Amino acid sequence: MIEAIFTYEFLQNAFLSGAIIGVIAPLLGAFIVVRRLSLIADALSHVTLSGIAAGLLLGQTFPALSAVNPLYFGMVFSVGGSLLVERLRSVYKHYQELAIPIMMSGGIGLGVIFISIADGFNTDLFSYLFGSVSAVSRNDLYAVIGISIIVFITVCLLYKELFVLSFDEEYAKASGIPAKAVHLAFIVLTALVIAVSMRIVGVLLVSALMTLPVAAAMRIAKGFKQTIWLSVLFGEISVITGLISAFYLDLAPGGTIVVTSIMILLGVILWKKEKN
């Protein structure tokens, strides 16, 4: 396996991208879970699927656009969807959770329309749905690296603001923290991480990588920082184990990564129960 990684570029792309995503997805996921916004990853992933389908359709219709990575269209749709979610949350002030199913429904609807116009599924779209080791290109890897750098810088600079905002939004506003701007920056970063995770985990399973490691970490962590570190550890184990399993068993990596995450979660729950 190690020899194959050094031999084949697509394996290098997949494992490097997966290793980075295994860090940044649970890192943001810790804040998402604490803020009770776990389903937003599902909503934005479906919006991203619409963008990817639109990119593939445009590539079919206009040959000049076929060279553009559909992932970039997915990023644009995902960021746009995150901004619309925030707008809907302000419209439905007393029922803010409505924004997520509205956006999810819209994303699925647009995606189905684009797919039907393009005359059904194709191999490229299938790899985005469930993830693919062989489909990760060097450009995808560069996109993952670029966004991960932005994520790390933003979280380091705004950690205190994000922490306070996650646990007590009213106190954050009263203490002078620009809550709206900080939350907007965070939600846009989440949208970008979801978009770049598609090649590895797949659109249907990306939210699991942002929530399952956090769910496992919360069972044994003694504080928020420890929750973050354990989430990243569990996420990394899930990604690496899932990619190795997918390579040897010729399976979609999204499924193997998520199943590994579930096994870690069940193991932590049983260990905690036995310990108590």
Q: Nearest 5°: CA angle at 247, between 52 and 269?
A: 85
**Can you tell me the distance from the alpha carbon of 128 to that of 202, in angstroms, rounded to the nearest whole number?**
5
Model pLDDT, residue 2: 60
Model pLDDT, residue 25: 92
Arithmetic mean of pLDDT, 92-118: 84
Q: For 29-43, 117-131, 223-237, which range has the lowest pLDDT when averaged over its residues?
A: 117-131
145-154: per-residue pLDDT in tens? 999 999 999 9
Report the candidate in 259, 163, 264 with the shortest Cα–Cα distance to residue 213: 264
Model pLDDT, residue 100: 86
Q: For 73-82, 100-109, 114-123, which range has the lowest pLDDT when averaged over its residues?
A: 114-123
Q: Is the pLDDT of residue 193 over 80?
A: yes
Arithmetic mean of pLDDT, 80-104: 86
Instruction: Using alpha carbons, list the distances in angstroms from residue 130 to 81, 171, 203, 215, 253.
Output: 21, 41, 6, 22, 7
5-27: per-residue pLDDT in tens? 657 777 888 889 989 999 999 99
Model pLDDT, residue 253: 87
Share the mean pLDDT of the chain. Answer: 86
Q: Is the pLDDT of residue 42 over 70?
A: yes
Q: Is the pLDDT of residue 1 over 60?
A: no
Model pLDDT, residue 153: 94
> Helices 40-61 and 123-130: crossing angle, nearest 10°?
170
Q: What is the CATH number of domain 2-269?
A: 1.10.3470.10
CA 102 to chain CA centroid, Å, is 19
**Can you tell me the distance from the alpha carbon of 191 to that of 184, in angstroms, rounded to the nearest whole number?**
11
Arithmetic mean of pLDDT, 119-124: 60
**Could you tell me the two tokens for 102?**
């509205």
> How many other C-beta atoms lie within 10 A of the C-beta of residue 215?
20
Q: Is the pLDDT of residue 35 over 70?
A: yes
Arithmetic mean of pLDDT, 77-96: 86
**Can you tell me the distance from the alpha carbon of 106 to that of 87, in angstroms, rounded to the nearest whole number?**
15
204-261: per-residue pLDDT in tens? 788 888 999 999 999 999 999 999 999 999 999 999 999 888 888 888 888 899 999 9
How do the domains of the chain map onto residue ranges? 2-269
